[in-house]
Amino acid sequence: MKKSIRVFSPASVSNVGPGFDLMGFALNGIGDEIEVSLSNKSGIKITKITGDNGKLPYDTEKNTATVAIKSLLAKHKIKVGLEVKISKKMGIGSGLGSSAASAVAGVAAVNELLELNLTRYQLLEHAIEGEMIASGALHADNIAPCLFGGFVLVRGYNPIDIIQIDYPKNLFCTIVYPQIEIKTCEARKILDKKIDLKNAVAQAGNAAGLITGLLTKDFSLISRSIVDWIAEPKRASLIPCYHEVREAALQNGALNCNITGSGPSMFAFSNSKLRAEAIGIAMKKAASKKRLESKIYISKINDKGPVVLK
């Protein structure tokens, strides 16, 4: 048995327009790295957190990674001493599934380190437990793509039903991450608890349309279907550059553009890497006109999920 293991777990785009609490996909290049080591001392201890600007708690009851790990160990009645090091390689409160990446990396690392051979479905519930600490609500639209990789539809929550959706291989995603922070739990509070019937119908139509566009590789349908009647109308106001950045993406050939998760990051789809890069430059420029610094990421959909690092 190994004494220590390092796992990288990807950032993810959730909501994806019409898929509030239902859809998400994993990204390449950004995410969380977690190292879990066997320890002689009983219990779990976080020994190091880097890249978080001091924002994340060392309290293992409050950190998403260790909450997820503890849930896993409790369920399987495993008593072991562990040390956890967390290296954030992405922003916190970015809308890119930071807490999901931590929770997934944690359980994936423990699964590997202790050679538990648990399936992704078995890891899922514990990662969700961790995520709930951060967001205050049960939702799996970051956890599921982060853990399973690819584009995921969470059809329902009772029981949780994860559907992996095939997608066009030349679908590129541009992310703009304005350097402000939005807390998921705050962004949930501003949503209406009840919505108009006609908006609910429109949301379901676009959700079904987006999935159809992905499965049939119909870029025009993907473009038409990325409309959100639930979250975007409320949350756009939390992102000072939202409309300008979205317009810049569309003007530069994006299939469409919307908020990822609860923001402030925004995603734009396009059908080539060159296009995705041009869109990124335009989005960053539009954000800077509103005096917002931003980071740009270009990524295909990541179909791997968490990976063990050498």
Please give the residue ranges that form the binding site for a second copy (CB under 8 A).
18-23, 153-156, 161, 163, 165, 191-197, 199-212, 215-216, 221, 224-225, 227, 230
Active-site annotation holder among 66, 131, 174, 260: 131
Q: Which is nearer to a second copy, 99 or 225 (CB)?
A: 225
Q: Which is nearer to a second copy, 110 or 226 (CB)?
A: 226
Active site residue 184: yes
- CA distance linking residue 104 with residue 208, whole number of Å: 28
Q: Which is nearer to a second copy, 203 or 299 (CB)?
A: 203
- CA distance linking residue 98 with residue 56, whole number of Å: 11
Q: Which is nearer to a second copy, 38 or 163 (CB)?
A: 163
For the purposes of burial, counting CB atoms within 10 Å of the CB of 48, is it exposed (0-12), middle (13-18) or buried (19 or more)?
Answer: exposed
Q: From the CB of 163, what's the least distance to a second copy, in Å? A: 6
Residue the block writes with tokens 């709930």: 132
Please report the DSSP string for 80-141 in residue order. Answer: --EEEEEEEES-TTSSS-HHHHHHHHHHHHHHHHTT----HHHHHHHHHHHHHHHHSS---T
Q: From the CB of 100, what's the least distance to a second copy, in Å? A: 18
Active-site annotation holder among 64, 66, 184, 260: 184
Q: Which is nearer to a second copy, 209 or 280 (CB)?
A: 209
Q: From the CB of 258, what's the least distance to a second copy, in Å? A: 15
Q: Phi and psi at residue 165, in whole multiples of 5°?
A: -105, 125
Active site residue 212: no
Q: From the CB of 153, what's the least distance to a second copy, in Å? A: 5
Residue 260's nearest CA partner among 20, 7, 2, 1 is 20
Q: Nearest 5 degrees, angle CA 53-CA 140-CA 224? A: 100
**Sheet (strand 266-270) strand order:** 256-259, 266-270, 172-178, 294-300
Q: Phi and psi at residue 48, in whole multiples of 5°?
A: -160, 135
Q: Which is nearer to a second copy, 20 or 269 (CB)?
A: 20
Q: From the CB of 195, what's the least distance to a second copy, in Å? A: 5
Q: From the CB of 156, what's the least distance to a second copy, in Å? A: 5
- CA distance linking residue 295 with residue 236, whole number of Å: 18
Residue positions annotated with a catalytic role? 131, 184
